[in-house]
Structure formats: C-alpha cells, structure tokens
Structure 1
C-alpha cells in the first residue's frame, strides 16, 4: 500500500490527560470502525483496546485529568439508544455508566476533576440508561450556569486549551482554533473548502505559528503540544513526536516531519472483539456498546428492502 493510500485508510484523534502522562487515541478506519488505544506518553508505549462499529465523536469526548476514565459520545443510530455518552476506563468503550442521547444535537461531556464531570445533553438533567447507576465516587454536575462557569474557568486555567477564533472566509464563514506552545509557538487549526466547486466539503488545516511565520502541516489530521513542549503529530495512521529543541529549526512541513520520531504506525490494525476486564459476567447486558450489533435478522431485512426498492424502480421505469 502506498503512503497516500495508507493516509486515507485511517485517521487518529488524541486526548491528552491534563495531570498525567496518559493519553487516549481514537483510531478510525475503515469508515464506521473505531479502535481505542491507551498511550503512555512518558515511555511512548501503547495498549490496543476495544473496537466499536458505529460513529464516535472525539471532539465531544473528554479524558479525566488523571487519565483513568473517559467520556465518549458515540452512536449506532439503531435502537435502543441511537446515540449516547458513555463513561468507561480506557482503552475500553464498555460502559461503567451510560446516558442515552438519541440524536447528535450536543452530546458528550467534560471532566472538571478526576471524578467530577458535566454532560452536554441539553438544559435538562440527563437520565442514566436502563440498568445503570452512577459509579461510586463520581459526581455529575446538573446543567445550568454554574456548570457552564466551571467548564469555562477550567478551560481558562489550562495553558494548552484550544481557544476559538471567529473568522470569515469564502465561500462561507469559517472558525479557527488556536493553542499555545513553548517558546512563543502556537498551533492554529481551521477548516477550509478543499474544492471551490464543492463548498460543503471541508478539510481541517493545521499550522505551526511563531510570530509572523506560519508553517502549514500538510497531511496532519491532529497535532498538540505535549507537556514537555514536544510537538505531537498524527498523519494518517502514524503518530510522530518532534522534540521541542528541534522545532525552531524546522522551516516547512516536510522538515517538521523529517525531524520527528515515529512513535507508532497503526495503519494495519484490524477489528478484533475484546471484552473489558472490568465487565462482570453477570452484567453481560451492560457490555455496551456492543462490538457488532448487525445480526442475521438485520442483514435479511436490509436485503428484503433492497429487493423491494429494485422492484419499485423497475415498475417506475416501465
């Protein structure tokens, strides 16, 4: 497989713990399959975890400051929940607690401490899914101005938090985000139309900025500064680290990549079922989300529907 094809094959999005050297990686690919990976940033070692067949939204997910628990917004768009936010222990999606959402208007949550979090499920308190209870020691803040203020205050204290920059562009208004790094460096990410003829198609563009100097990181889908000041990059299924001392000398994207060390290549990972070690056998019905909920009945129903649609199309042509 050539390099360009491997970049299309999968993508990586990462969440870094604020108070530890733990991170989680959402590895997506092929479309509709996501693998969760635990990353020890102190030693750059990795633990491959569970897969999920469905939609996963890393941008609406949150890792606890100590890295021990994870909130993920995800969905199968099938009964009983369609979409939901799940509390789990990385690198597993298996639910310790689960809050049904039902749509993609909002969803997910934010950790404010190791065991305190808020959900983004709307103005009314979110209800736990059937059979679930709040794990001992956790606190869910009720929605409202107090929770919003705590979320904003926590973000303002984080020197590496992304800040929204309102902007305008053509053919439609765009939004950009920025975060600070070491020695006057910062990251800038925005979304631009990758084809002027198709304005609804957007591509995320990441740049390293220092003063008036902008270095676009072509092919980089995710980037962040580590607590050490190193620049972390994801290109396709490959994860790289550019040391803080090497970054000032980099003159372009190719130079940044050339100076980076390859930490891992997850391009060739394939789906495998894996049960979480904390999933009790007596709670098998709580092993949510299921790894593959497409049953034989589902496939037969879809096949029947396709046959009916073909017959209707044939009658219309006649």
Structure 2
C-alpha cells in the first residue's frame, strides 16, 4: 500500500530563527510543531481534530505567538464550528478566541510582537480576550487579494521579503551568489496531495537562463546560506553555493506521527 505523506506548511518568525510546522494528515487532523532553526530541533505543540488554514495563519516577529484560522465543522458549538485564535507557539490553546461560524475570511497577520491584524470581513464574535495582545485597527494590508487564503498569504509573503510578479501569481526571493528562489502560487481544483491552493518552486540561476528544479515541495524558504523546504511529508535543508545547491539533508520525517492528546502548559 502506498504511503500517503503528510502535508506540511511552515510559518517562520520574521525576526528570529524560530518556526511552527503545521502537519496535516489525515485531512481532519493537524499538529503544530515548534522548530528551532538554530539547532533544527522540533518540539510537538498540540494536535487538533479539524483543519487549520495555514495560508491564513502567521507567527509573531519574536516567534512567541501564533494566529490561526481553524474549522472543525461542529456548527452547533459555541465557536460556530470555525474560529480565529491566538495562542502561545507552538501550542494551539487560545489566549484570544473569536468565533466565526463559517469559512469566509478569518485568520490574520502580526503587525508587531503584541499586535495583530484580523482578516475580519464580517462575523467574528469575541469569546476570549488577553491583555498580552491587542488588535491593530489601523493596519491595512498593502495588497488586496480577496478575503480568504490568498489575501493573508500573499501579504505575508511580501512582508517577509518576497517580490510579487504580477499578473502571474509568482513570487521571487533573492538568494546568495545571485540565485533566486521562485514560488509559483497556484489556485484551482484540489488534486492528489494538495488542496485548492498549492505552491511549486524553482531555483533560478544567476544568468536567468538555467534553472534547477527543487523536488515537488509544498513549501520553501531562505535561511541564511541555506534553503529549507518541505517535500513528501519531511523537512530538508540544502546549502546553496555559487555553483548551485549542494546535497539536501533530511531534518525530520513527519509522516509517521499519529494523533496524541497533549495539554498546553498554560
């Protein structure tokens, strides 16, 4: 029987080398895992019986807080079956909880270590508040891409140093030695191993003519002299030299993980 790899998406803190891996699989189970990029050590946060919309989620600049939009489809629950939450990374237990009740809009971006923009549109209902963070009522995203995943995701990418090449949904990020990491952000019918939004990546050579294809990776980013990327349920790190990428190093395979109830330590 063919092994079905987990789906991975990673949120990196803009100012420190910390991240949160969102591991999905089966489709209605997701785990949050802390990633220390200084040591490549991973720490399990919590599992959720439901769906986290990773493209509507973000990590605070200091890596301490996570904002995410989630859905469990329990429409009679107090949250209405979907919600936006702010938690203490890498955990999912909400310090701030806003019930939603549908899957329009939701999620948001951090505008500072303790301030966030809510992708509101309409329908959020405050259910739990925290004095540790506050909503940034003045922030307006630089670009407008609808109300759902692309609106949060494309603005997050551009905030984090990616250049949006319109009219195509292509993003470029400069690398060392004149190379470029290119991200193709797709939207369309779901397929094997991806939903209605998915990414592909290429490495563009300094002269712009030669390309080195990355594996079929669902996520990729720059970390100093390295490229870190997710493929087939695992995370890899590869060093980029002037002549091109070196051999990739496996950091961790997340596919064998199974649901485990974990209590947040707060």
What TM-score comes out, normalization by structure 1 length?
Answer: 0.69
Identify the residue that residue 141 of structure 1 maps to in structure 2: 136
- Say whether the 8 Å CA contact 1:166–1:175 is kept in structure 2: yes
- Say whether the 8 Å CA contact 2:217–2:231 is kept in structure 1: yes
- Say whether the 8 Å CA contact 1:205–1:216 is kept in structure 2: no
Q: In structure 2, how many angstroms separate the alpha carbons of the residues matched to 1:105 and 1:192?
A: 16
- Say whether the 8 Å CA contact 2:109–2:156 is kept in structure 1: no
Structure 2 residue 249 is the aligned partner of structure 1 residue 261: yes
CA deviation vs aligned residue, 1:87-117 (integer Å, no higher than 9, x gap):
0012211111111222222211100111011
- Say whether the 8 Å CA contact 2:84–2:100 is kept in structure 1: yes
CA deviation vs aligned residue, 1:261-287 (integer Å, no higher than 9, x gap):
111111100001011010xxxxxxxxx
**Secondary structure of the structure 1 residue equivalent to 2:263:** coil
In structure 2, the CA distance between the partners of 1:193 and 1:157, relative to structure 1 (3 Å rule), is closer
2:5 is aligned, of 9, 29, 46, to 9
Shift of 1:194: 9.7
- Say whether the 8 Å CA contact 1:9–1:30 is kept in structure 2: no
Shift of 1:82: 1.9
Structure 2 residue 216 is the aligned partner of structure 1 residue 206: no
- Say whether the 8 Å CA contact 1:60–1:72 is kept in structure 2: yes
- Say whether the 8 Å CA contact 2:198–2:218 is kept in structure 1: no
Shift of 1:240: 0.6
Structure 2 residue 177 is the aligned partner of structure 1 residue 183: yes
Shift of 1:157: 8.6
Identify the residue that residue 111 of structure 2 maps to in structure 1: 112
Identify the residue that residue 217 of structure 1 maps to in structure 2: 214
Shift of 1:86: 0.6
In structure 2, the CA distance between the partners of 1:47 and 1:203, relative to structure 1 (3 Å rule), is closer
In structure 2, the CA distance between the partners of 1:136 and 1:202, relative to structure 1 (3 Å rule), is closer
- Say whether the 8 Å CA contact 2:115–2:135 is kept in structure 1: yes
Q: In structure 2, how many angstroms separate the alpha carbons of the residues matched to 1:242 and 1:217?
A: 10
What TM-score comes out, normalization by structure 2 length?
Answer: 0.82
In structure 1, stretches of 5+ residues that fail to align are 168-173, 251-255, 279-318
Q: In structure 1, how many angstroms separate the alpha carbons of the residues matched to 2:220 and 2:141?
A: 27
- Say whether the 8 Å CA contact 1:112–1:150 is kept in structure 2: no
- After TM superposition, the runs of 4+ consecutive aligned structure 1 residues lying more than 6 A away are 154-157, 192-195
Q: In structure 2, how many angstroms separate the alpha carbons of the residues matched to 1:201 and 1:105?
A: 15
Name the larger-Rg structure: 1
Q: Name whichever structure is richer in strand by fraction.
A: 2
Q: In structure 2, how many angstroms separate the alpha carbons of the residues matched to 1:201 and 1:24?
A: 22
Identify the residue that residue 71 of structure 1 maps to in structure 2: 67
In structure 2, the CA distance between the partners of 1:102 and 1:39, relative to structure 1 (3 Å rule), is same
Identify the residue that residue 41 of structure 2 maps to in structure 1: 45
Structure 2 residue 259 is the aligned partner of structure 1 residue 271: yes
In structure 2, the CA distance between the partners of 1:38 and 1:204, relative to structure 1 (3 Å rule), is same
